[in-house]
Structure 1
Amino acid sequence: MKQMIKIIRKVDIEKQYEHVLRLELDYELASLYSAMQGNDEKEMEKCKKRLKEIQDELDGLHAYV
């Protein structure tokens, strides 16, 4: 029974983490759009780098599902 509770908690934590990552993804996409509108190359590269990191984290989460 204790193992089942641990598994359920782990799944809940992973779902919450995925939700946070998706919020970060939305924020970075909005930041990238803003940088594109302002022609800010440095900020665009920064956003793209963070978007790649978020994508990798999400891919890692889905690998264990």
Structure 2
Amino acid sequence: MKKTANSLKRPDGDKRMAVLRLELDYELATLYEAMMENDEEKKRECKRRLEKLRQELMRLQV
């Protein structure tokens, strides 16, 4: 039953995963910028957003 439900959601899940990967790339670039600027507040914020994106990506992969 669970597999059937997941297969129905698959197209939207695939699209969301693609968007998440783009968002991850952007946040990683932003984190790199913050590291180069030694901006501790910006680094913390980027890490927080990256963790949320990672959790969402993990939920979609299950």
Q: Match for residue 41 of structure 1?
A: 40
The corresponding residue for 1:55 is 54
Runs of 4+ in 1 over 2 A off after TM superposition: none
Task: State percent identity of aligned pairs.
Answer: 46
Q: Which amino acid in the other structure matches residue 20 of structure 2?
A: L
Q: Deviation at 1:62?
A: 1.0
Deviations 1:7-55 (A, max 9, x none): 2xx2111000000000000000000000000000000000000000000
Any stretches of 5+ residues in structure 1 without a counterpart? Answer: none
Structure 1 segment 1-65 matched on structure 2, within 5 A = 7=8, 10-63=9-62
Normalized against structure 1, the TM-score is what? 0.82
Aligned length: 57
What code does the residue aligned with 1:34 have? Answer: E
